[in-house]
Structure 1
Amino acid sequence: MAENHKAGEGVPPSNTPKAKPQKELYPMTSWKYDAFLHTFSVLVDLFFREVHPRGAWRVPRSGPILFVAAPHANQFVDGLVLQRTLKQEANRRVGLLIAEKSVHGFIGWGSRQTGSVPVGRAQDKAKPAKGLIYMPDPINDPTLIRGIGTDFEKDAEVGGMIFLPSIKGQSGSSVDIAKIVGPEEIRTKRPFTSQLSLFQLTGRDDIDSQGKFGNEDLTGPKDGYEGTKYKLAPHIDQTDVYKAVFTRLRSGGCIGIFPEGGSHDRTELLPLKAGVAIMALGTLAEDPNCGLQIVPVGMNYFHAHKFRSRAVVEFGAPFKIPDDLVEKYKNNQRRDAIAQTLDMVHQALSAVTVSSPDYDTLMCIQAARRLYNTGRKLPLPMVVELNRKLAIGFSKYKEDPRIVDLMDNLRDYNKQLHYLNIRDHQLSYARMTLLRVVFTLLYRVSKLLVLSIGVVPGLVLFAPVFVATKYISHQKAKEALAGSSVKVQGRDVMATWKLLVAMAFAPALYNLYSISLAVKVYQDNLWGYVPAAIPFWLVYVIAWIIFPAITFAAFRIGEVGMDILKSLRPLILCISPTSSYSVQRLRERRLELSTQVVKVINDLGPDMYDDFEKSRLVSDPFRDDGFLSSREESGIPTIRQEGESAVSSPPDSPGVVRRHTTRSSRAIPRNESFSNIGAIGMFATRPPSRSRSRSSSAGGGFGSAGFPVSGFTSLDSHEGFQEANNKIRAAMKERSQLRRRKSGVSLNDEESDA
């Protein structure tokens, strides 16, 4: 609970009244929390092939922490993954904020075991209201909303919210109600500003993407326009929620929040809710010395809704709210303080998430990453980091002609891959000879047949669960999409429903299998194959062990089998006379695109990052171990300088010939030169950690010691070596003097002896 503070100096401790510990509204019991996570973490291990933590060493091991996680792309699975990762990597227990409408059934029981705080949300209580609404004067009076056939005095309330419907995948807007003028007029706290909302409320088509009207002489809606449908939500009192959060944080606990609000399946972050800022500022306003820190968490999924997918949970650097913002919050300047805090949180989340304006752009960014990182398999955290940097670059230079042309080419390349129904990395099969392709195909088919022996029994046993989870999850996705204004396809709820259905259906199904087997043994000893001495109840127990074991083995073997099965189609295409030419042409197109991607990145990269050459995540992609089998094939000239080894470089790209480096390091790939000597384990400024969270979460490769740190000095010149030599000599001299002082020999005696 919250610590007691002294009333002042000079007051005897015995006379200081002790504040009674404040009872939490939603308490967290440690053993219940640990037991729940230990039991249900197996769901994460079964559903995901890999959950990779990154940066967990940044999480403080003590003190109050407000974890802000985004994007909220996997509904209740997000919370389970976050809690499991924090407990395993940082030994911190975190209570999550959960929607009040979800606190029932199994989800409600689980939330109570982990000390979650239920939150009422306006969108959950919004209901369609009668009549239509429109803006009578969007130019001069944009906060006035007028209705036709409405009864705002009965249906609406001050402090409530008004919601507009979503159209064609675009989320509808919402605003707070400031005043009820009459049954057919209300005023909002702020005007609707988006292009879609203004179109819905005016029917006019002269609105640009910034929400500006082209013809300002026309102050009203379009002639004959009656209005749009809408929803109304009552005012939500969050006093108990904030009280519970303040108490938990002031007592040194942790709170986790998804500041976007509800879950969604969009490729960009939604606007952050003000609640996260109010929680942080309110806690510090009550106890400025509590030491509250905010830790951003990036929930990065690869196909979040699919079974046996992958995820990277990335923790950003913790930060504190400046004192001046807390003072503003306390001195009735809350709006400004909340806005600045939200900006800080959004900026921190942008550093641990990958955000793009739409799905098509995200696919182009991922294609660019694969083309840039030609022929190499990167660790998952590095894949996320490279995607993030490319997304930032594409967003910054989206109007640049080079980026526009590259994006068009990437879209066309993705369409060709989709048409052939193959993946980017599978184009490497086109380099193989026909004989080798045939041999590889036969070998993989035979391997697949052998693996099917271990897969088919478990697949048959679990098939009803697969069918049920797929059908129900798709139905729930449709329901969620119909009731949401921000979802695109409703895929954010699919993983949750797959797990819930499997948890309920699988035990019942395997119980049926076990009972059926026991009954058959009781009737005729399983056609005489089971000895009569074995009781049927023992058969039931053994069946409960064997059937799940067969299914689990099928899952693990099936992963390998699915990878092999997916690799057969490109091999068949390479053999087929009608499609082999298309695959070969697409591979040649890939080589051209790879050259273009590298050139654009090398041209624009130094403009974005001053230390581009040192901070780049992958070295020069054009090496012999990639898809580009030779430098001549890629059209890259070889530059030679007198007395130096050859250095390959894309034509006309800045920063390719490395300057200010020693001759011995020029032959080394750019991110492996002596300039980055701190990345090698034996020269790292911090020793390698035995902690799994530090070593695994950093995502570093060989010799990274868990931290991709820079070198402690630059050894690129004679002056650099001389500086290092002087420092070593000075340190040795100081150490020698300290040793002599301890032995009782003074420096003067030493000099006189000399």
Structure 2
Amino acid sequence: MAPKKKEIGYMNKYVYDAFLWTFSVLVELFFREVHPRGSWKVPKEGPVLFVCAPHANQFVDPLILMRVVKKETDRRIHVLTAEKSMKRKFVGTMAAASGAVPVGRAMDKTKPAPGKIYLPDPINDPCLVRGVDTNFEASDFQIGGSLVLPKVNNVAASAEILAIKGPEEIRLKRPFKGGIAMQQLTGRNDMTEDGTFVDGAAAAIGPAPGYEGTVFKIAPKLNQTEVYDAVHTVLHRGGTIAIFPEGGSHDRTELLPLKAGVAIMSLGTVASKPDCNLKIIPVGMNYLHAHKFRSRAVIEFGNAIEVPVELAERFQAGERREAIAQMLETIREGLISVTVTAPDYDTLMLIQAVRRLYNPKGTKLPLPRVVELNRRLIQGYTKYKDDPRIIDLKKEVLSYNKQIHALRVRDHQVQYARVSVVTCFFLFWYRLLKLAVLSIFVIPGTVLFGAVFIACKLYSNKKAKEALAESNVKVQARDVLATWKLLVAMAVAPLVYTYYVVGITWLYYYNRCFGLLPVGWSKRYLVLAQVIIYPTATYAALRFGEVAMDIFKSLRPLVRMMNPWTANELTVAQARREKLAERITDIINTLGPEMFPDFHSKRVISDPFAQSPPSTPPRQKFIEEAEKEAPQPVESYDFPASPTSPSSDRLGLPKNESYADLANQDIFSTRPSTPKRHHSRRPSDGFGQGFQLKPFSTIGGNLDEVSKRIKSGMRSRGNRRSIKPIKRRNSL
């Protein structure tokens, strides 16, 4: 009897948890901070389809998502993983045991095809492709497959085959997009950047004279029926699936077009079981320098998207294209709400510079607020980028960036221009001494782990070059750097530590480590001590090294401020920064309310829990007039009682929130505060049913403003007291 075939997506919970715990240690080492936001929006039960973007890393993205979801909701995820990655022995074995669903990608199976292709009539019939020395009737060419053009600027255009007309003629489902693709297929340059031919181009119908076409590749059509069936099975059982709908990892600043697979999976699940109550959760994978060691990340969960049953019925009835397009657009809008995307890298750098300069409160913003501020600034820039004020401001910001780059200082270090030379002198030596002390902890671990660092860097750079050569969407292949740094560290670190343990143990028994150690130590305890000391020293080097590196970077501007020839340059940069920050604040406060109805003059980010005061019953005319003359009370925001669940009616903040900054809960909290229950008895005064969280003050530290508001409140109180006798007389 033939053995039973293993179910696709089968999950061993024990392997899953062990795998996740092991790699979570690596995540803790690689990232300085991973902050979940909005995790309370994830359903605790029922089928959930996590749709994640942008896909910055093929290994780290799913690992972080699995870790956050397990920690916040205690749910396990079946991740859709590229079949190419599953073929790696260790990663593939562990991923398969953890419930990963392998998905074949046509681009992974792309191969060169003989001959060349061109467009014989690019203006009137851009879907018609003709070949030279080709054989389109060969088995490699299939209806539903794709023609892929050579990469230009690390981008390769592709188009799907609709029909094969003969060995030298193919009809496409849709024409190639973009001016570069049209130039490759016609040899002409009389077209715009998006591939539209300019006026007068219609006189020349075909390609450029003498043009023989361009080389190309062929990508096959894949049958994903088994993948869809496995996804439907998991979701019908009430499980969770995670998919990265862009189709592959990349290092672009914008979202790539979403593949239709995510819409087919969601619509097919609901069509086959309309009462399954499937929820689609958009997840924003927001990284700050994802490829760099000790970077930071915010994983943001959006509002749940429900699949309309009517749309699923249309999908099943044959209106597949319209249903898929509508579902994809809904998912895309959900992803845009939780991601930070820019049209290009230069725009992203501009927005980050503006964000640093615009800080109404003058304080260090929490990481999730930084992400939200970037998102809103990009939205505003996209809308007003043609405004003359924005164009002029952009020039000023770029010029300022060039100035501080020439000074070899960072924006936050320009503040040293305010410090006197004497203060700089003592601050320099204090930090230098602090750096020396920290080096005592950093150097041993760096020496021990140096070989691992070197191996990670060299091998990850090699893999990045290989991925860049194979990919059609990568720009610098930075998305694969973090993956290979983690994998290499996981493989090389144990080897390096084992080498140290064996070497030191042998050296001790050979000459007691050159006579430095006493006689009589047990081999067992010597090995155990080394196993503990080496990882501890490495971890200490990482943590202390972060602080030491920050101190080291701060020494240069201090030296420049003590130098009379360069101190004036920083002073000029500081004055320019203050004027530029004031100008940015004025423009944002002017244009912000036009775009965001909930915009406040002191902040770009709104209070999502802010409520308008309840309407009051009609009053007598003379009372209304009296109260209109009285000064208005200070504006404040009332936060509603937090939503509760039957299983969690306790006062306090959830485990992934902090009391350190209560006023910022609306920005970076991962879920609304859930009330706690006292362990000894239930309170009867109403606190057991929830509490209201209010800002302590809306004043940014201005004492004059405090005095004015106190006086205003006292006058308002006096006016109310004078109104009370009038009310009593009218009641009589």
TM-score (norm 1): 0.81
1:179 corresponds in structure 2 to 163
Report the 3-state secondary structure (helix = DSSP H, G, I; strand = E; otherwise coil) of the residue aligned with 2:49.
strand
Question: Could you tell me which of 132, 149, 157 is aligned with 2:133?
Answer: 149
1:588 corresponds in structure 2 to 575
Matched, 1:161 2:146: yes
The separation in 1 between residues aligned to 2:272 and 2:661, in whole angstroms, is 39
Alignment of 1:197-216 (within 5 A): 197-214=181-198, 215-216=201-202
Compared with structure 1, are the counterparts of its residues 506 and 711 closer, same or farther at alpha carbon in structure 2 (3 Å cutoff)? closer
Q: Are the counterparts in 2 of residues 53 and 696 from structure 1 also a CA contact under 8 Å?
A: no
Matched, 1:677 2:660: no
Compared with structure 1, are the counterparts of its residues 661 and 476 closer, same or farther at alpha carbon in structure 2 (3 Å cutoff)? farther
Question: Could you tell me which of 195, 212, 219 is aligned with 1:233?
Answer: 219
Question: Could you tell me which of 180, 186, 201 is aligned with 1:196?
Answer: 180
- What per-residue deviation string (whole Å, max 9, x for no partner) do you get for residues 226-256 of structure 1? 2222210111110110010010011100000
1:398 corresponds in structure 2 to 385
Q: Are the counterparts in 2 of residues 519 and 536 from structure 1 also a CA contact under 8 Å?
A: no
Task: Give 1:336's aligned amino acid.
Answer: E
Compared with structure 1, are the counterparts of its residues 330 and 702 closer, same or farther at alpha carbon in structure 2 (3 Å cutoff)? closer
Matched, 1:106 2:93: no
Question: Could you tell me which of 390, 397, 400 is aligned with 1:410?
Answer: 397
1:271 corresponds in structure 2 to 257
Matched, 1:496 2:483: yes
1:364 corresponds in structure 2 to 350
Question: Could you tell me which of 313, 316, 326 is aligned with 1:340?
Answer: 326
Report the 3-state secondary structure (helix = DSSP H, G, I; strand = E; otherwise coil) of the residue aligned with 1:73.
coil
1:296 corresponds in structure 2 to 282
The separation in 2 between residues aligned to 1:185 and 1:615, in whole angstroms, is 63
Matched, 1:27 2:10: yes
Q: Are the counterparts in 1 of residues 40 and 672 from structure 2 also a CA contact under 8 Å?
A: no
Q: Are the counterparts in 2 of residues 90 and 693 from structure 1 also a CA contact under 8 Å?
A: no
Matched, 1:512 2:496: no
Question: Could you tell me which of 9, 29, 32 is aligned with 1:46?
Answer: 29
The separation in 2 between residues aligned to 1:534 and 1:662, in whole angstroms, is 85
Structure 1 residue runs of 5 or longer lacking an equivalent are 1-21, 620-659, 667-672, 726-754
Report the 3-state secondary structure (helix = DSSP H, G, I; strand = E; otherwise coil) of the residue aligned with 1:678.
coil
2:109 corresponds in structure 1 to 125
Q: Are the counterparts in 2 of residues 56 and 694 from structure 1 also a CA contact under 8 Å?
A: no
- What per-residue deviation string (whole Å, max 9, x for no partner) do you get for residues 153-209 of structure 1? 22422221111222124x222121111112221111111122222122122222223
1:140 corresponds in structure 2 to 124
2:43 corresponds in structure 1 to 60
Task: Give 2:134's aligned amino acid.
Answer: T
TM-score (norm 2): 0.84
Matched, 1:701 2:663: yes
Compared with structure 1, are the counterparts of its residues 534 and 125 closer, same or farther at alpha carbon in structure 2 (3 Å cutoff)? same
Question: Could you tell me which of 289, 298, 302 is aligned with 1:316?
Answer: 302
Question: Could you tell me which of 432, 445, 462 is aligned with 1:445?
Answer: 432
2:613 corresponds in structure 1 to none
The separation in 2 between residues aligned to 1:616 and 1:528, in whole angstroms, is 65
- What per-residue deviation string (whole Å, max 9, x for no partner) do you get for residues 61-114 of structure 1? 000000000111122111100000000011111111101011122210221122
The separation in 1 between residues aligned to 2:629 and 2:518, in whole angstroms, is 79
The separation in 1 between residues aligned to 2:629 and 2:273, in whole angstroms, is 53
The separation in 1 between residues aligned to 2:132 and 2:93, in whole angstroms, is 45
The separation in 2 between residues aligned to 1:24 and 1:357, in whole angstroms, is 42
Question: Could you tell me which of 360, 366, 372 is aligned with 1:379?
Answer: 366
Q: Are the counterparts in 2 of residues 132 and 150 from structure 1 also a CA contact under 8 Å?
A: yes
Count of residue pairs the alignment pairs up:
647
- State which drifts further: 503-512 or 35-44: 35-44
Q: Are the counterparts in 2 of residues 517 and 539 from structure 1 also a CA contact under 8 Å?
A: no
Q: Are the counterparts in 2 of residues 382 and 699 from structure 1 also a CA contact under 8 Å?
A: no
Compared with structure 1, are the counterparts of its residues 320 and 614 closer, same or farther at alpha carbon in structure 2 (3 Å cutoff)? farther
- What per-residue deviation string (whole Å, max 9, x for no partner) do you get for residues 601-658 of structure 1? 1221112112222894469xxxxxxxxxxxxxxxxxxxxxxxxxxxxxxxxxxxxxxx
2:528 corresponds in structure 1 to 541
Compared with structure 1, are the counterparts of its residues 691 and 243 closer, same or farther at alpha carbon in structure 2 (3 Å cutoff)? farther
1:73 corresponds in structure 2 to 56
- What per-residue deviation string (whole Å, max 9, x for no partner) do you get for residues 449-495 of structure 1? 11111111111111111111111111111111111111111100000
1:307 corresponds in structure 2 to 293
Q: Are the counterparts in 2 of residues 67 and 255 from structure 1 also a CA contact under 8 Å?
A: yes
Q: Percent identity?
A: 52
- State which drifts further: 574-583 or 365-374: 574-583
- What per-residue deviation string (whole Å, max 9, x for no partner) do you get for residues 367-393 of structure 1? 111111153111111110000000111
Q: Are the counterparts in 1 of residues 55 and 61 from structure 2 also a CA contact under 8 Å?
A: yes
- State which drifts further: 263-272 or 134-143: 134-143
The separation in 2 between residues aligned to 1:279 and 1:574, in whole angstroms, is 61
1:628 corresponds in structure 2 to none
Shift of 1:420: 2.2
The separation in 2 between residues aligned to 1:617 and 1:66, in whole angstroms, is 32
Q: Are the counterparts in 2 of residues 261 and 273 from structure 1 also a CA contact under 8 Å?
A: yes
The separation in 2 between residues aligned to 1:235 and 1:512, in whole angstroms, is 49
Compared with structure 1, are the counterparts of its residues 33 and 662 closer, same or farther at alpha carbon in structure 2 (3 Å cutoff)? farther
